[in-house]
């Protein structure tokens, strides 16, 4: 009787946990972002050769269905910020099919020479994303 009681309590506990899981997944209605599957959640922000170029993993993996090995390590090294150290990390290289240009060719994804500001957030975007203070906006002294 005593043992039975305990197992009943276990069953109730398990049901509660399962229920909670099902309920939470139903109520949020979307898959949680898993960095192991989809890559880092924080945007990658390049500063060279021009400041403020933004790459978001979620848009490419979770939303567009790409896997890690679609881009790593052939197009991009795993370590963030490696590409911008290369001298050929330029728009010209992209037009020749390197880096982002492998897909952004106008067929698979929008061409690299269109919709510039989709990826380029500029100095203003760079400061916003990295929390850097905008330069040249010192208060006026009178």
Partner 1 sequence: MKIDDLEKLENEGAENLPSEERRRFLRFGLAVTGVFVGGSVLSLTSARKAQSDMGPVPATGAFPYKPHYTMVIRQNRCIDCERCLEACAKTNNVPSYGYRTTILQREREIERGAKERVFMPVLCNHCNRPPCVRVCPTTATYKDKKNGIVMMDYKRCIGCKTCMAACPYNARYFKEENRAIDKCNFCYDTRLSKGESKTACAAACPAGVRIFGDLTDYDSEAYKLIHMPDKVVWVLRPETGAMPNVFYMND
DSSP, collapsed to helix, strand or coil, labels residue 129 as: helix
Q: Are 26 and 92 in contact (CB under 8 A)?
A: no
Instruction: Give yes or no for residue 87 binding partner 1 (CB under 8 A).
Output: no
Instruction: Give yes or no for residue 133 binding partner 1 (CB under 8 A).
Output: no
Of 10-18, 63-71, 95-103, 119-127, the window that binds partner 1 (rule: CB under 8 A) is 119-127
Binding mask 27-56 for partner 1 (x = CB under 8 A): ----------------------xxxx----
Name the site residues for partner 1 (rule: CB under 8 A). Answer: 49-52, 115-118, 120-125, 135-142
């Amino acid at each position: 009787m005593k043992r039975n009681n305990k197992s009943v309590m276990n069953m109730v506990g398990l049901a509660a946990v399962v229920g909670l899981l099902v309920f939470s997944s139903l109520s949020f209605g979307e898959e949680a972002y898993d960095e192991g599957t989809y890559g880092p959640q924080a945007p990658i922000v390049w500063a060279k050769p021009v400041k403020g170029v933004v790459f978001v993993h979620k848009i490419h993996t979770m939303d567009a269905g790409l896997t890690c090995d679609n881009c790593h390590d052939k197009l991009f090294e795993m370590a963030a910020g490696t590409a911008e150290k290369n001298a050929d990390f330029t728009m010209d290289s992209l037009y020749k099919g390197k880096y982002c240009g492998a897909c952004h060719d106008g067929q698979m994804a929008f061409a690299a020479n269109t919709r510039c500001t989709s990826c380029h957030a500029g100095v203003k975007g760079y400061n916003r994303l990295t929390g850097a203070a905008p330069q040249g906006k010192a208060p006026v002294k009178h």
